[in-house]
């Protein structure tokens, strides 16, 4: 069976591939295919966008697709950047531009609570989609720490492990992150319905 991870984000794709490593499915992502139409991520919620990406990809490629829509919600910024996390500093922004913009937005603020949210949507061609959602709470630091992970990881400090996501090993991040938790829910359901 082929499962396409409906993403072009290499950090996400790596984490999802690692998690599904034991499943006997042939995992691909959008970078493994030639040019295919882009889905417009214009939903107001992670849920809407995850569903759109999964459905669109399953339909266009004719194979099951797993989409991840995720982002960072900062309490003092009213939940921003939220669904705009990947383009917080503008269309095509790099991770470091987004991180710089976040530090600027929080400059001088003491309330630095934030949470990462991940919604996974699993769709088959012409079928319904299953959805899994999870979050992880932390604090936005005043300067980056660590060089693992991707996106906002160097700024996201997770108090229980006293590390940023970028200072964790991939296994540590998986055990506590929004994506790790959502993937575990998905895997439990796989285990109930699939006979490998």
Binding residues: 7-12, 40, 69-70, 150-153, 173, 178-179
Q: Per CB under 6 A, which region of 16-24, 105-113, 147-155, 188-196 contacts ligand ITT?
A: 147-155
Picking from 68, 183, 69, 54, the residue whose alpha carbon sits closest to that of residue 125 is 54
Among 14, 41, 141, 172, binds ligand ITT (CB under 6 A): 41
Among 9, 121, 131, 164, binds ligand ITT (CB under 6 A): 9
Indicate the SS3 state at residue 69.
strand
Integer Cα distance of 193 and 21 in angstroms:
18
Q: Of 32, 69, 147, 191, which is the active-site residue?
A: 69
Q: What Cα–Cα distance (Å) separates residue 169 from each residue in 2, 37, 49, 139, 163?
A: 28, 35, 29, 19, 10
- 33 within 8 A of 9, measured Cβ to Cβ: no
Residue 74: count other Cβ atoms within 10 Å of its Cβ: 21
Among 132, 152, 157, 158, binds ligand ITT (CB under 6 A): 152
Binding residues for substrate: 7-12, 70, 150-153, 173, 178-179
For position 86 contacting ligand ITT by CB under 6 A, the verdict is yes
Q: Shortest gap between Cβ of 196 and ligand ITT (angstroms)? A: 27
For position 85 contacting ligand ITT by CB under 6 A, the verdict is yes
For residue 122, the surrounding DSSP H or E stretch is strand 113-123
Indicate the SS3 state at residue 5.
strand
For position 131 contacting ligand ITT by CB under 6 A, the verdict is no
Backbone phi and psi for residue 146, each to the nearest 5 degrees, phi listed first: 90, 160
Size of the site for ligand ITT (CB under 6 A): 22
Picking from 175, 51, 165, the residue whose alpha carbon sits closest to that of residue 119 is 51
For position 7 contacting ligand ITT by CB under 6 A, the verdict is yes
CB closer to ligand ITT, 56 vs 165: 165
In the residue annotation, 68 being an active-site residue is answered as: no
Residue spans of alpha helices (H) in 8-152: 10-19, 46-61, 95-105
Q: Shortest gap between Cβ of 154 and ligand ITT (angstroms)? A: 9
Query: Catalytic residues, which ones?
Result: 69
Which residues are near ligand ITT by CB under 6 A? 7-9, 12, 41, 68-72, 85-86, 98, 116, 149-153, 165, 177, 179
């Amino acid at each position: 069976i082929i499962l396409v991870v409906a993403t072009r984000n290499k950090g996400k794709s790596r984490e999802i591939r690692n998690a599904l490593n034991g499943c006997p499915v042939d995992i691909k992502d959008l970078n493994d295919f030639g040019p295919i139409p882009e889905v417009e991520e214009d939903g107001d919620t992670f849920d809407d966008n995850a569903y759109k990406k999964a459905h669109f990809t399953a339909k266009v490629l004719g194979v099951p697709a797993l989409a991840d829509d995720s982002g960072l919600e900062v309490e003092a910024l009213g939940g921003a950047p939220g669904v705009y996390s990947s383009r917080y500093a503008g269309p095509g922004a790099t991770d470091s531009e987004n991180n710089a913009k976040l530090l600027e937005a929080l400059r001088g603020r003491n309330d630095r609570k934030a949470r990462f949210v991940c919604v996974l949507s699993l769709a088959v061609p012409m079928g319904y989609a299953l959805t899994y959602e999870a979050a992880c709470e932390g604090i936005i630091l005043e300067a980056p720490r660590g060089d693992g992970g991707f996106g906002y990881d160097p700024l996201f400090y997770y108090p229980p492990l006293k590390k940023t996501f970028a200072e964790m090993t991939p296994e540590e991040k998986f055990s506590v992150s929004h994506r790790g938790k959502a993937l575990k829910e998905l895997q439990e359901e796989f285990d109930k319905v699939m006979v490998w």
